[in-house]
Amino acid sequence: MEPVFFSAADGIRLEGLFRGDENQPGVVITHPHPLYGGTMNNYVIEAVESAFREKDYATLRFNFRGVGRSDGRYGAGIDEAEDIKGALAYLQNRGVTPAVLSGYSFGARVCANVPADLQPAAMVMIAPPVAMMDFTDLQQILSLKLIITGENDELAPPGQIRQYIARWNPDATLHVIEGEDHFFGRSIPELKQILYRIF
């Protein structure tokens, strides 16, 4: 694991962890809400990284602005889209082809804010907090391939997510983990297995 620093699209200096080699497909992994303790060291983020590493992806997880050693301050999910743009550019500069954009909770909402022409081929939303944050402005997300949530997730309830999928991308797959809530405390192995099967 290589500690790295790179610039967001608007110049903010960001802290990240990179693992991989040139000519690999790459994944950018984004963390949950900064105001509720979310960082790139969240255990769900680490599990997602592990799953993609085992599938031979180069991985980049990073702290959004104002988190850890990243400069700047919280940007309400709007400015953080500039962070993701910078992360995608960083992978390209390392000779890695950005192939997947994966976000957990707040990170999933920010992924959806990245303009369609800058999104990689596939997007993964893990527990997108549709009951906590406003998703009504989102129309098509053609890169959206997979959504994972828990059966008992009050912030990302499956029924509410299903109402959005037809608008976002009817071809996207929704996996609902039985008995799980927003934090996946009992279901990390199952979460990883879902990623293995899809990617």
CA gap 90, 3 in Å, rounded: 13
pLDDT at 139: 87
Tens-binned pLDDT, residue by residue, of the chain (199 aa): 999 999 999 999 999 999 999 999 999 999 999 999 999 999 999 999 999 999 999 999 999 999 999 999 999 999 999 999 999 999 999 999 999 999 999 999 999 999 999 999 999 999 999 999 999 999 899 999 999 999 999 999 999 999 999 999 999 999 999 999 999 999 999 999 999 999 9
Q: In whole angstroms, what is the distance from residue 152 CA to residue 49 CA?
A: 24
With contact defined as beta carbons under 8 Å apart, do 101 and 141 qualify?
Answer: no
CA distance linking residue 46 with residue 31, whole number of Å: 10
197 φ/ψ sector (left φ>0, alpha ψ -120 to 50, else beta):
alpha
Q: What are the structural domains, with CATH classification, of the chain?
A: 2-198 (3.40.50.1820)
| Residue 32 pLDDT | 98
pLDDT tens digits for range 175-186:
999 999 999 999
Phi, psi of 99 (to 5 degrees): -115, -30
* Model confidence pLDDT, tens digit, residues 30-47: 999 999 999 999 999 999
